[in-house]
């Protein structure tokens, strides 16, 4: 029947492995969280230390004790390397060369104890058993300290110097949370390692007779690290939410700016149905002034007025939709009517500049998972850019073409190509960066916002120059899941 020591080491090992699994999953879900991976490796090493400590306490012979001691050095090396890596990745401070010195010194100790005969740094000659928590545990009664042990002791103090230096550097940073992280995590690492080093040195040099029990102190360090990592996850969720809000705000501003550029064209398009309504109303009034009004003609005029009214309402509704400030909402959207609505917004502007608009899309194209307003914005921005490009090129053929096709089992690709002058090689690699523009009066946010919108949909947006003339912009969108 196992006693208290077994319970303690089992608790330490199980807790460490549980934390390792949680942080390992966090890293798998988001590969940018490299400190979580370092924590996972560290926690596994702490579980290994707990297991070897239990083996040392249960050793029946000096030989068995020496074998468990070898594995203890391996686990200790893993814990040391894990902390060095964690500090570097999480704090972003610490002298790299000093960290390598720590790892190399501990590696030398491990190599000497694993590859060489047992007890290359600390050889136990005789065991004794003392009562600990109501049960007997093996302890060193007589041991020989060899020169390699000085390397191990030096590595411990160099490790403390590395962590202390990194903690001080973090403390001096201006970030709001820097001092709390330095005090909590840095203090926990230093305190844990000081306790572990003190106990190990007291046992090695024969000052005290007690079992090796450094792993329980490591739980304090793991708890401090976990607390700060969890705070970062929560904070990053708030930051991501704020980033989405700012993206939506910027997208709205970009839509307003684009529509402002098209204000003349939109006013002309709106004036057409309004002018037709006025003319039909005047004609109806003339018919009504007659002694015998032609009722069939009046019915036809009223039908024309109704159709023109619906046309004007549709134009206004499209403008209202683009001017609305809203967050990203994904729905199953059919691309064909969406593209036709956007083309209607720029058709008059294109005609005024003698630009031909072409549109090709297969009837069987499946709907995409998209936010109708924001995808309309991407198309509108690309079309306006294309019209500007061919207008400035003074080309005999002024053409902007929109195409869409299925490119995979779950992807639709939309293409906007123009016959303009193309994008200069210097700007092409940076064309989607904020404030990079080819227009004399452009702000350079349209394409940056468009790429952000497409990536928020799970797609990508890119550009290339055509073989003959002009440029082509392509973006992908995911196909909507079928309704169940």
Position 295 scores a pLDDT of 77
Domain that includes residue 281, residue range: 262-325
301 and 335 assigned to the same domain: no
267 and 218 assigned to the same domain: no
151 and 74 assigned to the same domain: yes
| Residue at which a domain ends, from 213, 244, 275 | 244
Position 181 scores a pLDDT of 93
Position 328 scores a pLDDT of 65
257 lies in some domain: no
318 and 197 assigned to the same domain: no
Position 1 scores a pLDDT of 41
Count the domains in the chain. Answer: 3
What whole-number distance in Å separates Cα of residue 349 and Cα of residue 419? Answer: 17
What whole-number distance in Å separates Cα of residue 184 and Cα of residue 175? Answer: 15
357 and 405 assigned to the same domain: yes
249 lies in some domain: no
70 lies in some domain: yes
Asked if 229 and 34 count as a contact pair (C-beta separation under 8 A), the reply is no
227 and 374 assigned to the same domain: no
33 and 114 assigned to the same domain: yes
| Residue at which a domain ends, from 280, 298, 325 | 325
What whole-number distance in Å separates Cα of residue 207 and Cα of residue 140? Answer: 11
29 and 165 assigned to the same domain: yes
Tokens coding 368:
């995409």
125 lies in some domain: yes
What phi and psi values does residue 346 have, to the nearest 5 degrees?
A: -105, 0
39 and 166 assigned to the same domain: yes
- Alpha carbon of 461 to those of 405, 409, 448, 477: distances in Å? 15, 19, 10, 10
Parallel, antiparallel, or unpaired: how do β-strands 411-418 and 471-478 relate? antiparallel
Tokens coding 60:
């029946």
Parallel, antiparallel, or unpaired: how do β-strands 399-408 and 356-360 relate? parallel
- Residue-level pLDDT, tens digit, the chain, 484 residues: 456 777 888 899 999 999 999 999 999 988 889 999 999 999 999 999 999 999 999 999 999 999 999 999 999 999 999 999 999 999 999 899 999 999 999 999 999 988 877 677 888 889 999 888 778 889 988 888 888 989 999 999 999 999 999 999 999 988 888 999 999 999 999 999 999 999 988 998 888 888 888 899 999 999 999 999 998 888 777 766 665 665 566 555 665 655 555 555 556 556 667 777 777 777 778 777 777 777 777 788 788 788 777 767 766 665 665 555 555 678 898 998 888 888 877 787 788 788 888 988 888 889 999 888 788 878 888 888 888 888 765 667 788 999 999 988 889 999 999 988 888 888 888 877 766 666 555 555 678 778 888 888 889 999 999 887 888 999 999 998 876 5
Domain with 89 in it: what CATH number?
A: 1.20.1070
444 lies in some domain: yes
pTM attached to this predicted model = 0.60
141 and 230 assigned to the same domain: yes
Position 398 scores a pLDDT of 84
91 and 194 assigned to the same domain: yes
Domain with 440 in it: what CATH number?
A: 3.30.565.10
Sign of the four-CA dihedral 466, 453, 385, 407: positive
**SS3 per residue for 442-454:** CCCCHHHHHHHHH
256 lies in some domain: no
104 lies in some domain: yes
207 and 103 assigned to the same domain: yes
255 lies in some domain: no
| Residue at which a domain ends, from 325, 341, 358 | 325
- Alpha carbon of 185 to those of 151, 234, 247, 470: distances in Å? 26, 17, 34, 56
Among residues 445, 460, 462, the alpha carbon closest in space to that of 256 is found at 445
Asked if 476 and 454 count as a contact pair (C-beta separation under 8 A), the reply is yes
């Amino acid at each position: 029947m196992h006693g208290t020591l077994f319970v303690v080491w089992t608790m330490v090992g199980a807790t460490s492995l549980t934390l390792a699994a949680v942080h390992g999953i966090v890293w798998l879900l988001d590969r940018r969280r490299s400190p979580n991976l370092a924590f996972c490796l560290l926690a596994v090493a702490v579980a290994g230390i707990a297991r070897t400590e239990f083996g040392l306490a249960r050793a029946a012979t000096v030989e068995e004790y020496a074998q468990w001691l070898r594995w203890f050095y391996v686990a200790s090396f893993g814990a040391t390397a894990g902390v060095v890596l964690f500090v570097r990745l999480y704090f972003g401070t610490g002298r790299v060369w000093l960290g390598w010195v720590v790892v190399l010194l501990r590696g030398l100790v491990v190599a000497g104890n694993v590859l060489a005969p047992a007890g290359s740094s600390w050889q136990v000659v005789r065991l004794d058993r003392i009562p600990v928590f109501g049960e007997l545990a093996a302890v060193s009664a007589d041991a020989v300290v060899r020169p390699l042990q000085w390397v191990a002791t030096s590595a411990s103090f160099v490790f403390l110097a590395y962590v202390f230096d990194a903690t001080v550097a973090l403390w001096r940073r201006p970030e709001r949370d820097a001092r709390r992280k330095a005090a909590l995590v840095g203090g926990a690492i230093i305190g844990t390692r000081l306790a572990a080093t003190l106990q190990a040195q007291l046992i090695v040099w024969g000052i005290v007779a007690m079992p090796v029990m450094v792993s329980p102190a490591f739980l304090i360090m793991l708890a401090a690290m976990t607390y700060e990592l969890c705070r970062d996850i929560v904070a990053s969720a708030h930051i991501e939410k704020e980033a989405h809000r700012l993206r939506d705000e910027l997208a709205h501003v970009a839509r307003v700016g684009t529509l402002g550029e098209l204000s003349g064209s939109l006013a002309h398009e709106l004036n057409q149905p309004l002018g037709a309504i006025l003319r039909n109303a005047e004609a109806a009034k003339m018919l009504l002034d007659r002694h015998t009004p032609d009722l069939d003609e009046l019915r036809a005029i009223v039908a024309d007025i109704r159709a023109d009214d619906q046309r004007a309402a549709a134009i206004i509704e499209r403008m209202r939709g683009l001017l609305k400030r809203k967050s990203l909402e994904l729905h199953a959207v059919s691309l064909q009517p969406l593209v036709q609505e956007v083309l209607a917004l720029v058709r008059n502007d294109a005609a005024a500049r003698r630009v031909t608009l072409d549109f090709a899309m297969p009837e069987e194209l499946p709907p995409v998972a998209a936010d109708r307003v924001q995808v309309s914005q991407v198309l509108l921005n690309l079309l306006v850019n294309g019209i500007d490009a061919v207008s400035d090129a003074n080309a005999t053929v002024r053409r902007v073409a929109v195409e869409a096709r299925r490119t995979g089992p779950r992807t639709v690709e939309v293409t906007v190509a123009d016959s303009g002058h193309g994008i200069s090689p210097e700007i092409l690699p940076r064309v989607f960066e904020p404030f990079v523009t080819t227009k004399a009066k452009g702000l350079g946010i349209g394409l940056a916002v468009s790429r952000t919108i497409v990536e928020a949909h799970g797609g990508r947006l890119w550009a290339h120059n055509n073989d003959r003339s002009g440029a082509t912009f392509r973006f992908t969108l995911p196909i909507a899941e079928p309704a169940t």
